[in-house]
Amino acid sequence: MSSFQADSQQPSMPKPVSDGGDASPIGIDASKTAMVSEDSRAPAGLAKPNGYRRVVALFGAVVLLVAAGFAVWLNRPRPKPLEEVAAKAEPEIASLILETSRLVEDTLALFSNDAYAWDLAGRMYSRFGKTEQAQRCWEKCLELDGNFVAAHQALGVAALESGDLKAAAEHYEKAWRQSPESSVYPTQLAEVLIQDGQLARARDVLTEALRRHPRAVAMRALLGQALVQLREDVEAVEHLSLVIRMNPEYTNGYYPLATALDRLGQREEAAEMRRLFQERKRQDELRHREQLKDADVQAEAVRVSVAQAYVSAAKIHISVGDTPTAERYLTRAAALAPRFTDASLLMAWLKDRMGDRSGAREQLDRLLNAESSHLETIMQAAKLFAEWEEFDKAESLYRKAIELTPHEAGGYLALAGLYVATGKRPFEAQVLALKAAAREPTAACFGLLISAAQRNGDLITAAAAAREAVRLEPENPDYRQIAKALGVQP
């Protein structure tokens, strides 16, 4: 309250005492208020004594000082979310988190209307435990782009953590329908549905998704678990047994399989599955404890996270033509986590786009020498060589991928696609496509087999492949049109 307001309202104040013994209630010596004689005082009710005015003025000044201090406190520079995390971390980790904070803030400052920038911020806030700030970032993503798949998936995770199963299911459903090629989103949706007691709906979701992803271990294992709860034990055993054959290290497949076998009367097999479950569980727990003890493992995980942030920021800068900044970010990402190959692969692609094909090739050669058995690196490098029409190099890399994973469809599918695209080796292309479809009987594999068989003049195989493609994806108009052209009735 100002002194002018205090005078005009004339509040009732304690009268000063004149015996000099006690101080006034607000700490003013009352004897100092008795310096004016009785004759010189104004009549009561017309004016307040000077001592009173001094008290009011002092009180007003205190109020103003408090208000000014509060305003300064409100407007003080507040620590950014990741800075708060860094303040509690070990020095090496703190330095990396602060670097991430600067990257996130710089990216948001430049691209405040870009959903990918807000997604980057959300992922980094979430990575380092700032879940509320992360959720606001992903909500901002959807304000900018209502179909932003990553934001729906992330908000689904947040809703699940808060116990809102309905909201989680809605977000996962939207993410899946917008990105039907993903194996992650239908699996997450089914997990929520199972928690919500919607077992039949979860079964239907997983069954539909497995048509596209027959070798998705986590998805098939979850389907087996749902079938056990539905007491559809014969089918459950079929799926869970396949899970363990595909990945014997998948611990969560053993216990539900034991339950289903027990109910089917196969006691010895069930007991063996329980024993294996306990053994795998002990191994998992031991491995987890060792990782928690290893500070180097934790630091490396943080370095990889920061490198991922730099790669994401680099892609945003590439999208607006800012290649120097993108190149700087990718160089930093590669330095932080040399085994994180996304940075080097994107750098090779960027060098080529900048007109430095020889530099791009050198980048890939160095990467392949360092990661000669890393499947994803080999496949991505082969794709780049194919784009550059260096088909012999691409072919040798795809063959390397087949050697590394002879029971997986990816290498066969990629090499068959290369032969179909270049018109080379039509018979071998058809054989490779058949091997891919045998390992992963998806509509995509049968679609490639159609093209390979047609180029090889084998219309019977092409028609059979078209029939399978339509069966797996009956809503796909391209497959239906090809099938019709080959004389296949839907």
Q: How far, in Å, CA of 459 to CA of 249, rounded?
A: 42
Query: Domain for residue 152, yes or no?
Result: yes
Query: Domain for residue 58, yes or no?
Result: yes
105 and 65 inside one domain: no
Rounded average pLDDT over 95-124: 96
Interhelix angle 295-319/342-353, rounded to 10 degrees, is 20
Query: Which segment of 75-79, 112-116, 124-128, 335-339 scores lowest on mean pLDDT?
Result: 75-79
Give the model's pLDDT for residue 100: 95
67 and 197 inside one domain: no
Query: Domain for residue 381, yes or no?
Result: no
Single-letter amino acid, residue 304 = V
Q: Answer whether 404's CB lies under 8 Å from 373's CB.
A: yes
Single-letter amino acid, residue 257 = L
32 and 100 inside one domain: no
Phi and psi (nearest 5°) for 29? -65, 115
257 and 118 inside one domain: yes
Q: Answer whether 391's CB lies under 8 Å from 399's CB.
A: no
The reported pTM is 0.76
Query: Domain for residue 172, yes or no?
Result: yes
Average pLDDT, the chain: 85
56 and 202 inside one domain: no
Q: How far, in Å, CA of 285 to CA of 291, rounded?
A: 10
Rounded average pLDDT over 252-268: 94
Single-letter amino acid, residue 17 = V
Query: Domain for residue 90, yes or no?
Result: yes
70 and 89 inside one domain: no
Query: Domain for residue 389, yes or no?
Result: no
Domain final residue pick, 74, 100, 115: 74
Q: Tokens 């089914």 identify what position?
A: 190
Integer distance in angstroms from the first to the last C-alpha of the chain?
Answer: 84
Work out the burial of residue 196: count CB atoms within 10 Å of its CB; fewer than 13 is exposed, 13-18 middle, 19 or more buried.
middle
10 and 108 inside one domain: no
448: how many CB neighbours lie within 10 A of its CB?
25
Which CATH number is 185's domain given?
1.25.40.10
For the cut 60, the answer to whether the pLDDT of residue 169 exceeds it is: yes
pLDDT class of 85 with cuts at 50, 70, 90: confident
For the cut 80, the answer to whether the pLDDT of residue 190 exceeds it is: yes
Taken in order 219, 220, 225, 227, the sign of the CA dihedral is: positive
Rounded average pLDDT over 259-263: 95
159 and 52 inside one domain: no
Query: Domain for residue 196, yes or no?
Result: yes
pLDDT digits (tens, 9 = 90+) for 120-136: 999 999 999 999 999 99
Distance of CA 393 to the CA centre of its chain: 34
For the cut 50, the answer to whether the pLDDT of residue 139 exceeds it is: yes
Q: Answer whether 310's CB lies under 8 Å from 346's CB.
A: no
Query: Domain for residue 228, yes or no?
Result: yes
Phi and psi (nearest 5°) for 350? -65, -45
202 and 243 inside one domain: yes
Domain final residue pick, 19, 42, 74: 74
53 and 89 inside one domain: no
Question: DSSP letters of 399-427?
Answer: HHHHHH-TTSSHHHHHHHHHHHHHT--HH
195 and 252 inside one domain: yes
Q: How far, in Å, CA of 479 to CA of 488, rounded?
A: 11
158 and 95 inside one domain: yes
Q: How far, in Å, CA of 334 to CA of 326, rounded?
A: 12
Query: Which domain, by its residues, includes 49?
Result: 3-74
Q: In the 3-class helix/strand/coil scheme, how is 156-188 assigned residue by residue?
A: HHHHHHHCCHHHHHHHHHHHHHHCCCCCHHHHH
Query: Which segment of 200-209, 297-306, 405-414, 415-424 scores lowest on mean pLDDT?
Result: 297-306
Distance of CA 140 to the CA centre of its chain: 15
Domain final residue pick, 36, 56, 74: 74
Number of structural domains the chain divides into: 2
